[in-house]
Amino acid sequence: MTTSYTTSDIDRRRFLQTGAAAGLAVGFGGLDPTLAQSRAETLLVVQELGPNSLDMQGVGSNQTVNGLSWNCYDRLLSYAHKTLADGTLSYDRAVLAPELAEKWEVAADGMSCTFFLRKDATFHDGTPVTARDVKWSFDRAVKVGGFPTFQMSAGSLEKPEQFVVVDDHTFRIDYIRKDKMLLFNVAVVVPFIINSELARKNATESDPWAMQWLKVNEAGGGAFKIESWKAGSETIFVRFDNWKSGPLPTLKKIIARDVPSPGTRRAMLERGDADFSTGFPPRDFEQLIKEGKLKVSGVPIPNALWYIALNTSKPPFDNPKLRQAIAYAMPYEQIQNNAFFGRAVPMYGGTAAVEKAVWPQAFPYVTDLDKAKALMKEAGLDTLETTLSLDVGTATVGEPTALLIQENLAKIGIKAAVEKIPGANWRTTLNKKELPMVLNRFSGWLDYPEYYFYWNFHGNNSIFNISAYKSKEMDALIDKARFTTDPAEYETAVKAFVALCIKDVPVVPLNQPIHDVALQKNVSGYEFWFHREPDYRRFVKG
């Protein structure tokens, strides 16, 4: 097991007890100076839900595991940084940066890329990182199945034969086809580099990728390592002082506690008992901004939507007229104001013609109940009884949104019972493609329109296409946009598949979510990432 314990349990208890008694962000004037220094080098995070695994490639791993992987494992590449208009630090979707690979070279024919690894990089147990570890890790990602393998395929990373060990510190990817998303996909969360020697020692014949062992053990070489993990309670990260893939973090320790109640988390921040949190109701963020006691950073999530998915494979929602009627029945402004309190970007009331090759963009639908009723009649329906399903884990905004939709649908003759599905069952239930109407949120890690459409509307994709939408025309347009090298052809294809989505309405976009976080004013270095988890490597406490 690679878990390291660098401080004694006595020191840890002393620190936590003293911090709790004093208020962890204040009151250190009369304390031992070493404790004050410890506090300056420690970030206390309070989160709704902690990781349910230490392996984000494992079946059923939750959102928080992405952040654990990001901080505890390296990838070959990362993204460069940029500063947004409001001063928030963000990743730059268009610029790649070195991480474990200090440089990389694409072949002249554009059909392979060679990566040159840092020769001084080690894993947390001191084992040198080699190209054999990289190959094993990439082989694992394309072989474990499920989301990780689909994610790799989105960048044409599909089979182990593509991944070649040239020598100990040189690794090559051979391309199946030219794909502009391939290298950007190397820099997302999935292809993280595992200590393969350690993992193989704990693999079995029935579990060759050590799925069971890596679920409860960390085997990385990232900037932080796991000191302790108590599922449902607390995760403690400590800095890996021998990290070579970037500037050594300022913080030495991260204590991330699971506090389900948003009210309790907010109170802890306001008292100074915590440094960082997210996941509050939009109304809370609106109030925190007005009060000005804490810093709030809010970034529209690229390639993301809240939407209503309509099951196009089953009657009656296989009728596009009914789907259009639903689009005109949505109470868009009420949802924006009363469920999201303005903390989202509206995705309704756009132009009828698709003028830009971008996504997301506002659909032309607006609330028009008369038009919705007329389209219902064109669909051959006067009344309808159905269900509208949502994930209990999104109830903070999901439930008021669903109730507002339920009320408006009743006005056009649709009686929709709101069905709440436990978060643990949500993805499994969606994959059955049996729910007639679903309130859902999806965000694509790679900020390309064709990437979002590949996941959600391509007939060959069974994971996130919860509308069960199939259209040969749509598939051809998505494929054209993914692989063409002609900018004009690309723009034409994107505009065409967005227009087709507007006409066929497999989903009704509601808004583009904003990812809000709250932090103490003496904390800086927060960076927004596509995976929406905190990157502890750049945090600084003043």
The strand pair at 414-421 and 344-346 is best described as: unpaired
Which residue in the block uniquely carries the two structure tokens 């993805």?
427
pLDDT of residue 6: 33
- CB of 464 closer than 8 Å to CB of 304: no
CB hemisphere CA count around 179 (13 angstroms) = 24
* Phi (first) and psi of residue 499, to 5 degrees: -60, -40
pLDDT of residue 36: 58
Whole-number Å distance between alpha carbons of 129 and 220 = 10
Structure tokens at 224: 């932080």
Per-residue pLDDT of the chain (542 residues; tens, 9 = 90+): 333 333 333 333 333 433 333 333 333 333 455 555 678 899 999 999 899 999 999 988 889 999 999 999 999 999 999 999 989 999 999 999 999 999 999 999 999 999 999 999 999 999 999 999 999 999 999 999 989 999 999 999 999 999 999 999 999 999 999 999 999 999 999 999 999 999 999 999 999 999 999 999 999 999 999 999 999 999 999 999 999 999 999 999 999 999 999 999 999 999 999 999 999 999 999 999 999 999 999 999 999 999 999 999 999 999 999 999 999 999 999 999 999 999 999 999 999 999 999 999 999 999 999 999 999 999 999 999 999 999 988 888 999 999 999 999 999 999 999 999 997 788 889 989 999 999 999 999 999 999 999 999 999 877 899 999 999 999 999 999 999 999 999 999 999 999 999 999 999 999 999 999 999 999 999 999 999 999 999 999 98
Second-level CATH architecture of 304-513: Roll (3.10)
Alpha-helical segments (H) within 176-271 = 182-186, 196-201, 211-216, 262-271
CA dihedral of residues 497, 503, 506, 507 (deg, nearest 10): 90
- CB of 78 closer than 8 Å to CB of 96: yes
360 preceded by cis ω (within 30°)? yes
Whole-number Å distance between alpha carbons of 534 and 214 = 22
Q: What is the pTM of this model?
A: 0.88
Angle between helices 449-457 and 472-483 (to 10 degrees): 150
CATH number given to 9-274+520-541: 3.40.190.10
Residue type for position 134: V
pLDDT of residue 479: 95
456: DSSP letter: H
* Phi (first) and psi of residue 509, to 5 degrees: -65, 135
Whole-number Å distance between alpha carbons of 451 and 366 = 26
Alpha-helical segments (H) within 432-511 = 449-457, 472-483, 487-504
CB hemisphere CA count around 16 (13 angstroms) = 15
Angle, CA of 209, 210 and 211, to the nearest 5°: 90
Spell out the domain ranges in the chain. Answer: 9-274+520-541, 304-513
